Amino acid sequence: MQLQDSTSFPERDDTHSRSWPFWSATLRVLLLLGMLTWWLSVLARVTTNVPSSVDAPSLLRPGVTQLPDSRVEFVGDWVVQTIGTESFVATRVAGDRLRFEFVGTELGIVVRAGPDAGSISVRIREGTRNDSASREVSTVLNLERSSARVETLTLGKSLAPGVHVAEIRNEDSAELALAAIIVHGRPGIWWAWLPPLGLGLLGLGASLHAWWNALVTALGWWKLGTES
């Protein structure tokens, strides 16, 4: 005689095992959405809309601007000097200055340094002349050297992208001779952010695909489809 084992074990509830991948995928999607939202808010601040050359023709843009230039305002007794193939705008009066507006993130000058040169002060205001809430960067440079030579000096870098106002002032009764103004734009324009933004969107798409698969598995739709 055979004995029939009537002992029955309760069926294991795998609801938790099915729902955990769904909630994990949901969390990844929410985190990626939050990161992309923050990223776009930062992107809007660091890629300021810059006026076009038609709307603002007086702005110095990235590149080398040879002096004199009509977009640069000279205040004081300035003269044009030509030495060989190089041209300079020079003064020997303390307090003489030049002002200009530029768009970029770094500013430099080509200047003649030497025993006849002295100190200059540089002020860069991040924002237009009418922007009272703008931040100002100032520095003093000594151009006196043992021998005369032409140097390229950096006046400001890591500036916020946008329009800025710069003023260069001759502090001594020594010679200040400028040949050119150099403006750099880093980061350049908004397309520089497209690769990381594209990768973020691809990651979001992959996370949404994983989330959908986890949802189908958690609801048992895939299992019902295979049984039918």
One-letter amino acid identity for 192?
Answer: A
Helical pair 15-46 and 194-219, crossing angle rounded to 10 deg: 160
Q: What is the pLDDT of residues 90-123, one digit of tens each?
A: 999 999 999 999 998 899 999 999 999 999 999 9
Q: Tens digit of pLDDT for each residue in 118-140?
A: 999 999 998 655 555 567 889 99
As a whole number of angstroms, the distance between CA 159 and CA 102 comes to: 11
Distance between CA atoms of residues 6 and 188, nearest Å: 77
Find the length of the chain. 228
User: Over 60: is that where the pLDDT of 186 sits?
Assistant: yes
Q: What is the DSSP letter of 60?
A: B
Whether omega for the bond prior to residue 68 falls within 30 degrees of 0, making it cis, is: yes
Starting at the edge strand found earlier in the chain, the sheet holding 135-142 runs 73-75, 97-103, 163-170, 119-126, 135-142
Q: Cβ of 47: how many Cβ atoms within 10 Å?
A: 17
| The most confident of 16-20, 32-36, 180-184, by mean pLDDT | 180-184
Q: Say if residue 182's pLDDT is above 80.
A: yes
The pLDDT assigned to 224 comes to 46
Q: If you average pLDDT over each of 14-18, 75-79, 208-212, which comes out highest?
A: 75-79
Looking at residue 88, its pLDDT comes to 97
Q: How far is CA 157 from the centre of its chain?
A: 11
